[in-house]
Structure 1
Amino acid sequence: MLERFHVPPEIEVRVDPALMRGAVEELFVALGMPRGHAEQSADVLLYADIRGIDSHGVSNMLRYYVDAIRDGTINLEPRWRIIHDSPAACTIDSDGAHGGVIGPEAMRIAIERARQYGIGSVAVYNGGHYGAAAYTAAMALDEDMIGVSMTAGGVSVAPTFGAEPLVGLNPIAIAVPTREEPPFIFDGSMSSIAGNKVRLVQRLGRDTMPGWIAGEDGAPIMEERAIPDPFLMLPLGGTREIGSHKGYGLAVMVEVLTSLLSGGGGGPDRRARQAHHLLAYRVDAFTDLEQFKDDMDAYLRRLREAKTAPGEERVYYAGLPEHEEEAVRRELGIPYHPEVIEWFHDVLAELGLKDRLPGT
């Protein structure tokens, strides 16, 4: 993981995951969220924090969710329903539900249909931010299935050669079961950098990297410098010469499979808030499951044991760094910026909740 996104060790505040989970759950309940929804929403946030995906954990997302609950953007009592249905696929109107609730529910439906038909595909519209896409993709692993999760993120990316935001951040995640190796779990936005990571870098007072973002005029910023205001996100690849047309095309693909396929329009013309698409593949509907897991282990070992480039210590595959970071954070606690903990103290006091976090 890039150190640029980490809280400096000299100021970090380590918090036991169970302690933070309890604080998040109680906060959601105090704001009117049903207990079961609060537990599910907290699980999504803590999954990110425990695995080192700080951009999608408590530090960045919780404040957004609190504000969205308070201003009514998140419907705390949604009556979501299936509006289009077929044996292996369906579309859900989530009725403004918290994405951290409806996303996992949609993946459960996809998994159940995959049990019956070999594949399950669920589109969701009229929803909100559902946290790290890896969370819902990884739900399929418990069933020895492949999980795919994608979402129509904020429309803040300029198309290649463009100078206005017309494309969503639009992350894709895929989780693949293994036997002995840590599972392959890829999760990445189709922008050059995740939007939440820009906010994280700003909070830490650090500079943008070349090719992450563009200025207001659409010209890619190709040197380290302070993040300007305003700025535009760039597609994955940064510039056409490095392949931004591929990231741009993939982002449009996600827009099609999420927002457009669920009937909500695309990009700046979306009619129905945020949309998602969850898929589950039952491996034994395609091939022998045990052989597949053995083959995955063999391939992932080849990747992590690959010859390294000059100056590099080892090769990783997607999901391995997060697996290793999870072990560290479960033992030592999750590192938070002091500003995040101070915000928690203020909100818990405002809501009259008992504050067990460090510094109280």
Structure 2
Amino acid sequence: ESMLPTFGAEPRLAPNPHAWAVPADKEPPFVLDISSSSVAANKIQLLRRMKSMTIPGLIADDKGNPIMDEREIPDYTWILPNGATRELGSHKGYGMSAVAQVFGGILSDGAFGAYERGHMSHFVAAYSIEAFTDVARFKKSMDEFLKYLRETPPAPGHDRVFYAGLPEHEESIDRHERGIPLHREVIDWFDQTTAEFNMAPLERAEGQ
């Protein structure tokens, strides 16, 4: 448990994720994988290790007060629901996390709250498209819908509009071609850990 309920001073939920994937025909598939919190816990840990400032609305102090300015990350913090405050919609992230707990925990005969390690469960559902409509027609309609979204005129200061899964699809192509860039801090950690356990060091691209 690391996420506060809206108005809460003590965490009662994890930043439970929701994920959906929908096929298309020629367009890259729609893939949405989101946390119900304002930020993933490991991102806060990374910011702390890098001694970076927090972004307003990501975390609360140890008393449950949302941190709504840019500052150094306190030693003890809690993650806020997506939306940060009630005025900005935190009840939505809070509710989505609770829904995930009901379906992924209680309905699956698992635990909720401060459950024992390992006493966890998940909820996965797959829908048969042909039970609702013709598969080819569905994929054609998905192509048209996704194209409709990505062809939205961009607002000033932005080059284009994406839909969920499109940036990752393009990034996957790029990284298969050019490899995966790592932050210097991550590379240093790999070097220290592989040396400690007498393992082969992390492979570098030529010239790195």
Find the aligned partners of 2:27 and 2:57 in 1 and give their Cα distance: 33
Name 1:308's counterpart in structure 2: 154
1:325 to 171, 177, 181: 171
Find the aligned partners of 1:205 and 1:334 in 2 and give their Cα distance: 24
Greater per-residue strand proportion: 1
Q: Deviations over 1:103-146 (max 9, x none)?
A: xxxxxxxxxxxxxxxxxxxxxxxxxxxxxxxxxxxxxxxxxxxx
Q: Is the counterpart of residue 284 in structure 1 residue 130 in structure 2?
A: yes
Q: Which amino acid aligns with 2:38?
A: S
User: 1:327, CA displacement in angstroms?
Assistant: 1.9
Name 2:31's counterpart in structure 1: 185
1:335 to 181, 186, 189: 181
2:143 to 273, 297, 303: 297
User: 1:348, CA displacement in angstroms?
Assistant: 3.3
2:41 to 191, 195, 212: 195
Residues 356 and 234 (structure 1), Cα distance of their counterparts in 2 relative to 1, 3 Å cut: closer
CA contact (8 A) 2:20 2:32 kept: yes
Name 1:138's counterpart in structure 2: none
1:209 to 36, 39, 55: 55
Residues 287 and 241 (structure 1), Cα distance of their counterparts in 2 relative to 1, 3 Å cut: same
Residues 338 and 309 (structure 1), Cα distance of their counterparts in 2 relative to 1, 3 Å cut: closer
Q: Deviations over 1:213-236 (max 9, x none)?
A: 111111111111111110011111
Find the aligned partners of 1:233 and 1:356 in 2 and give their Cα distance: 32
User: 1:321, CA displacement in angstroms?
Assistant: 1.0
In structure 2, the gaps of 5 or more residues are: none
Find the residue that maps to 2:9 and give its secondary structure: coil
In structure 1, the gaps of 5 or more residues are: 1-154
Find the residue that maps to 2:169 and give its secondary structure: helix
Q: Deviations over 1:34-91 (max 9, x none)?
A: xxxxxxxxxxxxxxxxxxxxxxxxxxxxxxxxxxxxxxxxxxxxxxxxxxxxxxxxxx
Tell me the C-alpha RMSD between the 2 structures. Answer: 2.1
* Count of residues in Structure 1 that have an aligned counterpart in Structure 2: 206
Name 1:162's counterpart in structure 2: 8
Q: How does 1:11-26 map to 2 (within 5 A)?
A: none
Find the residue that maps to 1:163 and give its secondary structure: coil
CA contact (8 A) 1:264 1:270 kept: no
CA contact (8 A) 2:190 2:202 kept: no
Q: Which amino acid aligns with 1:192?
A: S
1:267 to 109, 113, 131: 113
Residues 343 and 210 (structure 1), Cα distance of their counterparts in 2 relative to 1, 3 Å cut: closer
Residues 304 and 204 (structure 1), Cα distance of their counterparts in 2 relative to 1, 3 Å cut: farther
Find the aligned partners of 1:252 and 1:194 in 2 and give their Cα distance: 17
User: 1:205, CA displacement in angstroms?
Assistant: 3.3
CA contact (8 A) 2:81 2:94 kept: yes
Q: Is the counterpart of residue 258 in structure 1 residue 115 in structure 2?
A: no
Find the residue that maps to 1:274 and give its secondary structure: coil
Find the residue that maps to 2:123 and give its secondary structure: strand
Q: TM-score scaled by structure 2?
A: 0.90
Greater per-residue helix proportion: 1
Q: Which amino acid aligns with 1:333?
A: G
User: 1:188, CA displacement in angstroms?
Assistant: 0.6
Which of the pair has the greater relative contact order for Cα pairs under 8 Å at 6+ separation?
Answer: 1
CA contact (8 A) 2:191 2:202 kept: no
User: 1:342, CA displacement in angstroms?
Assistant: 3.2
Find the residue that maps to 1:175 and give its secondary structure: strand
Residues 191 and 158 (structure 1), Cα distance of their counterparts in 2 relative to 1, 3 Å cut: same
Sequence identity (%): 50
Q: TM-score scaled by structure 1?
A: 0.54
Find the residue that maps to 2:7 and give its secondary structure: coil
